[in-house]
Amino acid sequence: MTPFALYCKSYSTDLRRVVRLARSVQQFNKEHLPFYISVQRSEMAVFNEHLQGLEVTLLADEDILGASPRIDTKQVQNMPGAVSQQVVKAEFWRLGYSTAYLCLDSDAIFIRPFGLDDFLAPDGTPYTMMDEAHDLLEDALLGKRDRIITAFNQEADLVQQLFQRVGRRYSFGPFPLVWHQAVWESLDTHFLQPRGLSLADAIIQAPIESRWYGEALLAYKAVALLPCQALFKVYHYAWQYDQDRRSGMHTDQLLKLYCGVIYQSAWERDMDWPTEGGGLLSRTGRRIRRRLKRI
């Protein structure tokens, strides 16, 4: 088992994005940290074809789920994709490839050289993304997007109440996140097993895997808490990217603070594989906005 690995759960719709991610890993992975990508077994052939020549180990989602003693694979496969992928991501540790891992999404891109010291303290303790999401919430306030604030509060309250924790609402993101196997194991041992639950059951109850990890870390203290800010600059919404671009914030400035950037796939639909996703009206609207140099 290695101390650390990179891991991404992907789908064929994100094939172009994950190839872009893999190329950025190959360019900036100065310590050659192992990189794993998992997909449904039925999609492995197309990923193998497009990832040729890149330093990636391809895995089947089914093998990750099969390594969990209480996961019902069919139950997970019947979940919506946005929910089932959370179970797969959080159960990757069970394969025993690494003690800790950086859980990436397909729409991530590294923008500078990176190594272990970006993710782990010298003694191997992981840095944990943890703050009160003021940057996102401030933007929401400025943009009069009250639903974003409401959703954040509701998500935080839901999982805090399950752990009976009273206090400030924390964000344990955004992705990518550094996760340690000891934290996931403590959640399983101290919370899930006594209640007769699997992680899939927990995700159905509250589909926010980052909060399950963060609250378990606070509750059971399986590793020391070393808080850090986001590792990647995340554009949650297209208007945030427009705002940065218009203010002159570009990659040369971002790499001084971040390892990479995430452009949300929901509004970067021209990267969908094999063709741009969405209906005719939404595709037309995106193309017009791109011609106007707006997302």
Element (H, E) at 269: none
Q: Is the pLDDT of residue 235 over 90?
A: no
* Confidence category of residue 276, pLDDT binned at 50, 70, 90: low
What is the structure's pLDDT at 286?
Answer: 47
Q: Is 150 helix (H, G, I), strand (E, B) or coil?
A: helix
Q: Is 133 left (phi over 0), alpha (psi -120 to 50) or beta?
A: left
Q: What is the pTM of this model?
A: 0.90
Mean pLDDT value across residues 148-162: 95
Measuring CA to CA, how many Å separate 32 from each of 5, 101, 123, 230?
A: 9, 14, 20, 22
Q: What is the mean pLDDT of the chain?
A: 91
Q: What are phi and psi of 125, to 5 degrees?
A: -70, 130
Q: Which CATH class is domain 2-264?
A: alpha beta
Q: What is the pLDDT of residues 40-82, one digit of tens each?
A: 999 999 999 999 999 999 999 999 999 999 999 999 999 999 9
Contact yes or no for 130/172 (Cβ under 8 A):
yes
